[in-house]
Amino acid sequence: MDSEHQKPGPSTRGPELALAGFLMVLAGFVIVDSVRTGIGWGDDGPKSGYFPFRIGLLLLGASGWVFVTTLLKWRETHPLFAERSQLATVMAMLIPMVVYVGGIAFLGLYVSSLVLIGYFMRRYGRFGWPLTAAVSVGVPLVFFLVFERWFLVPLPKGPIERLLGF
């Protein structure tokens, strides 16, 4: 049925292996550190690494099992991970989100939020400038009032807020 030209998207095979491999590496970190802190019995009972060491071994065993079974079934057909178009929309969300988190460190949360909401409304909602401006300015403003004024919780601010005296 499927021609070679119509590739709907990657199967779960690769991601499955990558995630299991990642968990195995994490298990390695847990085991190595537990050995450093002591995995046996000390003067005052079990040492700091006693419990985590066993946790690390179980994590290694479970993720190793998934890794090996994925390898053993490598040639079998695996379910679709996601269609290419779906991955594209996920990346369309993920990349601005990563940029947004980075932006918070430099521009503060309010300005970054304004940009993120504005970008999404213009790019994917195709809203006009007046509505985009109203929502993307209004939402951070409401958050500012709620958090800074009502709950007295300071959120990260950037140069613009400092310029305005906050």
Partner 1 sequence: MEELSNLLNGFAVAMTVPNLGYMLIGITLGVLIGVLPGLGGANGIAILLPLTFSMNPTSAIIMLSCIYWGALFGGAITSILFNIPGEPWSVATTFDGYPMAQKGQAAQALTAAFTSSFVGALFAVLLITFLAPLLAKFALKFGPAEFFAVQLLTFCSFVGMSKEPPAKVIAAMMLGFALAAVGMDTVTGQLRMTYGQPELLKGFDFLIAVIGLFGIGEILLTMEEGLAFKGKTARINLKVVFETWATLPRYWLTFLRSTAIGCWMGITPGGATPASFMSYGMARRMSKDPQGFGKGNLEGVIAPETAAHAAGTSALLPMLTLGIPGSPTAAVLLGGLMIWGLQPGPMLFVEHKDFVWGLIASMYTGNIVGLLVVLTTVPFWAGFLRIPFSVIAPVIVVICAIGAYTVHSSMFDVIMMMVFGVLGYLFKKLKYPLAPLVLALVLGDMAEASFRQAMLLSQGSLSIFWANPLVGSIAGLAVALLLWPLLGSARGYFKPKEAVA
The site for partner 1 (CB under 8 A) is made up of 12, 15-16, 19-20, 23, 26-27, 29-30, 33-34, 37, 41, 44-52, 55-56, 58-59, 61-63, 65-66, 69, 81-82, 86, 89-90, 92-94, 96-98, 100-101, 104-105, 109, 113, 116-117, 119-121, 123-125, 127, 135, 139-140, 143, 147, 151-156
Spatial neighbors of 66 by CB under 8 A, at least 6 apart, are 16, 20, 23
Question: For residue 162, what are the CA distances in angstroms to 57, 71, 157, 158?
Answer: 50, 55, 7, 6
As measured in angstroms, the least distance from the Cβ of 133 to partner 1 is 13
* β-pairing verdict for 45-46 and 41-42: antiparallel
As measured in angstroms, the least distance from the Cβ of 89 to partner 1 is 5
Rounded to an integer, what distance in angstroms lies between the CA atom of residue 164 and that of residue 166? 6
R_g of the chain, CA atoms, integer Å: 24
Q: What does the block give as tokens for 8?
A: 């709907």
As measured in angstroms, the least distance from the Cβ of 24 to partner 1 is 9
* Residues 59 and 45: beta-carbon distance below 8 Å: no
Nearest residue (CB) to partner 1, 4 versus 106: 106
Nearest residue (CB) to partner 1, 7 versus 101: 101
Nearest residue (CB) to partner 1, 1 versus 72: 72
Nearest residue (CB) to partner 1, 2 versus 44: 44
